Amino acid sequence: MSNFEELLAKMCGRKDVAAQEKLYKIYAARVQSACRRYSKDNEEAQDFTQDAFMRIFDKIGKFRYSGEGSLGRWLVRVAVNMIIDRKRRDKSLGIKSEIDEAAEDIPQPTEEEAASVPLDVLHKMIDSLSNAKKMVFNLRCVDEYSYKEIAKMIGISENAASSTFAKARIELGMMIKEYVKING
């Protein structure tokens, strides 16, 4: 007997409208959350989500079930890859591979300091990063891609991916330190 995710994907592949609606209803929030991580605002995230589902329904025949949860992971990957392709095409990433050596000496926040920042404030801090830093930070920390995978996805060197992540981490660290200093 087929798994629910596998069956739902097959039905969507056959252009079954009810199955597509069910898939959207189950996974829209998850896909939109992933899109939001790579968007400048909620409106852009909603646009990306709609575009992602159009691509998902077009490509769902390529989905291969590999265990419980694999459909959700595949949907998020399709959405993230679509956003990366679009940003790369629009040349809005602007990644450089050098890192300011002096920036490496900037003290990073302790775990306690980082934990004291409310999640919504932390999200705003991440949103304030440049497109490149935000993308690499989310790919590395949230979606858990390796530098090699990030480099391949974005079309940069592994050193550029690592350098961009380091810059994002340093910048976020400075923002967290400043927040803790102001808000105690």
- Tell me the per-residue pLDDT of 137-149, one tens digit each, with 9 for 90 and over: 999 998 889 999 9
Return phi, psi of residue 144, to 5°.
Answer: 60, 40
Task: Compute the distance between CA of residue 75 and CA of residue 21 in angstroms, rounded to an integer.
Answer: 14
Tokens standing for 52? 């992602």
Model pLDDT, residue 99: 46
Alpha carbon dihedral 146, 150, 156, 157, in 10-degree steps, equals 0
One-letter amino acid of 150: I
- Tell me the per-residue pLDDT of 128-178, one tens digit each, with 9 for 90 and over: 999 889 999 999 998 889 999 999 988 889 999 999 999 999 999 999 999
pTM of the model as a whole: 0.71
Contacts of 63 (CB under 8 A, 6+ apart): 9, 13, 71, 74
